[in-house]
């Protein structure tokens, strides 16, 4: 690629590196500010099948496969021992890869950066210095920052991209508010050896409803990522440090204690504040936000990394598919970004709606009703055929293939309201604080 750098991306996480790589594939020069601060563990280790298409577009799937665990689906264990297992059958997801991967995040993030570099993206080690903008820009690099990056040649990029994750650097400078979800949870997680995943198929992720909160178990090569998500108010009596709290919760939750009886922790324990947040605005003159810098979802169904990469893909497809010239047409660029964030808003609403069905117990109650239908009417009866169709639609929703589907969402909502009877009330299955 030749010419001046036209886009500067602040932050080198999956969203930023994906966007930089996609721009490079279009011949648009981008520079990424990378402060090179990466923790040993990161949440977002379990992917959805929809990410595979982006991997293939970037040409990295074969390399991801070498250090990752094949993921065939996800299972949900309730306190009463009932179980929901969702896999990714080809028939249900219609042409989409019927698998995903569980990934060690540092390796995955490093690969995205490496691929962006291979495609010609420039990386600058250091943190971008930002200030409110002038000359038609709402936010800009400071004069000192601009002078400190020789690759820019003293010329300010036409577009700045906020890829700073939950730090939301641009939003904070511009005083852009956000809508936050209702929960106030905290997650503690680490990698273990000798911890039973209780998967029905190798690589299956298992989500467990605990007496307080919920847990994840994500199989990785040679180890298991184990996390617990609990309301902050329920931490009393579990110790003072993240290590004490994670170990104590595992030992006091029967469904985890038995599986982790012979466990050995092989990493530090990481703490992660678990809530949902969506910015009131995702772009303005001279800038746009991507990934968690715009909004992030509860990790229950593993949508986080998909949403980060998909937000970059949406920016690329809605705006830069029209060519680099759109950077010189502010009104046209703003209109394209409006489409991006209208779609992202719908994604967030759809994920929040689906995740809430698991939190409030309605999905488990629906499953129990489906089991009764099967036992009562047999496999070939009309009620059972309807139940199988609903399962297909739920699989499409959970996999990211059709999470925004109006038909699937409406069918699920109708079923939750009208097709659940003679089973325990949803509250019996709900995730408690």
Phi first, then psi: give them for residue 29, nearest 5 degrees: -75, 130
Contact 296, 213 (CB under 8 A): no
How sure is the predictor about 432, in pLDDT bands with cuts at 50, 70 and 90? confident
**Class in CATH terms, 185-274:** alpha beta
The residue assigned the tokens 């467990």 is 208
269 has pLDDT over 80: yes
Spatial separation of the C-alpha atoms in residues 50 and 32, rounded to whole Å: 25
Q: By C-alpha distance, which of 115, 88, 109 is closest to 100? A: 88
pLDDT digits (tens, 9 = 90+) for 322-366: 999 999 999 999 999 999 999 999 999 999 999 999 999 999 999
The pLDDT of residue 433: 72
Q: Tell me which fold the domain 7-68+103-178+277-351 belongs to.
A: FAD/NAD(P)-binding domain (3.50.50)
Q: Span 290-317, mean pLDDT?
A: 95
Assign 420 to helix, strand or coil. Answer: coil
Mean pLDDT of the chain: 93
Q: By C-alpha distance, which of 396, 127, 177, 399 is closest to 295? A: 177
Contact 361, 430 (CB under 8 A): yes
Spatial separation of the C-alpha atoms in residues 218 and 73, rounded to whole Å: 11
Contact 253, 152 (CB under 8 A): no
- Strand-pair category, 185-193 with 83-87: unpaired
Q: What is the maximum span of the chain, computed from C-alpha positions, in angstroms?
A: 74
Q: Span 183-192, mean pLDDT?
A: 93
pLDDT digits (tens, 9 = 90+) for 135-151: 899 999 999 999 999 99
pLDDT digits (tens, 9 = 90+) for 385-417: 777 888 889 999 999 999 999 999 999 999 999
Q: Which two tokens stand for residue 401?
A: 């293939």
Angle made by CA atoms 369, 49, 109, in degrees to the nearest 5: 130
Contact 290, 312 (CB under 8 A): yes
Contact 237, 264 (CB under 8 A): no
Enumerate the domain spans of the chain: 7-68+103-178+277-351, 185-274, 360-428
How sure is the predictor about 40, in pLDDT bands with cuts at 50, 70 and 90? confident
Q: Span 276-304, mean pLDDT?
A: 95
DSSP state of 253: S
Contact 98, 86 (CB under 8 A): no
The pLDDT of residue 76: 95
Q: Which helix (H) or strand (E) holds 415?
A: helix 406-418
DSSP state of 399: T
Contact 354, 393 (CB under 8 A): no
Cα–Cα distance list, 106 to 158, 308, 357 (Å): 30, 15, 31
DSSP state of 89: -
Cα–Cα distance list, 411 to 36, 96, 388 (Å): 46, 22, 13
How sure is the predictor about 377, in pLDDT bands with cuts at 50, 70 and 90? low
Q: Which residues pair with 75 in a beta bridge?
A: 85, 206
């Amino acid at each position: 690629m030749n010419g001046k750098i036209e886009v500067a991306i602040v932050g080198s996480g999956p969203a930023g590196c994906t966007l930089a790589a996609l721009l490079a594939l279009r011949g648009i020069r981008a520079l990424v500010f990378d402060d090179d601060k990466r923790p040993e563990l990161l949440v977002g280790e379990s992917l959805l099948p929809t990410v595979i298409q982006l991997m293939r577009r970037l040409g990295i799937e074969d390399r991801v496969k070498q250090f990752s665990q094949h993921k065939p689906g996800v299972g949900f264990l309730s306190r009463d021992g009932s179980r929901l297992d969702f896999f990714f059958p080809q028939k249900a997801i219609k042409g989409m890869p019927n698998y995903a991967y569980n990934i060690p995040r540092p390796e995955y993030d490093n690969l995205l950066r490496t691929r962006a570099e291979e495609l010609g993206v420039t990386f600058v080690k250091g943190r971008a210095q930002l200030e409110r903008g002038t000359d038609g820009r709402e936010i800009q690099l400071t004069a000192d920052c601009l002078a400190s990056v020789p690759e820019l040649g003293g010329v300010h990029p036409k577009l700045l991209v906020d890829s700073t994750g939950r730090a939301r650097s641009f939003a904070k400078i511009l005083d852009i508010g956000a809508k936050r979800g209702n929960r106030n949870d905290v997650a503690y997680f680490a990698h273990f050896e000798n911890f039973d995943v209780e998967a029905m198929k190798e690589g299956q992720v298992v989500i467990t409803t605990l007496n307080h909160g919920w847990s994840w178990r994500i199989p990785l090569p040679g180890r298991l990522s184990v996390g617990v998500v609990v309301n902050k108010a329920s931490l009393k009596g579990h110790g003072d440090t993240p290590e004490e709290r994670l170990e104590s919760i595992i030992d006091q939750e029967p469904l985890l204690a038995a599986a982790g009886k012979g466990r050995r922790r092989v990493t530090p324990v990481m703490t992660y504040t678990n809530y949902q947040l969506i910015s009131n605005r995702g772009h303005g003159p001279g800038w746009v936000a991507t990934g968690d810098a715009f909004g992030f979802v509860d990790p229950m169904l593993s949508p986080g990394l998909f949403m980060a990469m998909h937000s970059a893909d949406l920016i690329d497809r809605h705006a830069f598919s029209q060519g680099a010239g759109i950077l010189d047409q502010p009104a046209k660029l703003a209109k394209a970004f409006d489409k991006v964030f209208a779609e992202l808003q719908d994604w967030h609403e759809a994920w929040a709606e689906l995740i809430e069905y698991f939190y409030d117990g309605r999905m488990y109650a629906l499953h129990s009703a489906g089991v009764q239908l099967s036992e009562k009417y047999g496999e070939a009866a009309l009620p059972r055929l309807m139940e199988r169709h609903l399962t297909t639609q739920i699989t499409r929703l959970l996999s990211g293939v059709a999470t925004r589907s109006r038909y699937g969402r409406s069918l699920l909502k109708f079923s939750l309201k009208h097709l659940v009877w003679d089973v325990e009330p949803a509250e019996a299955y709900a995730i408690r604080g």
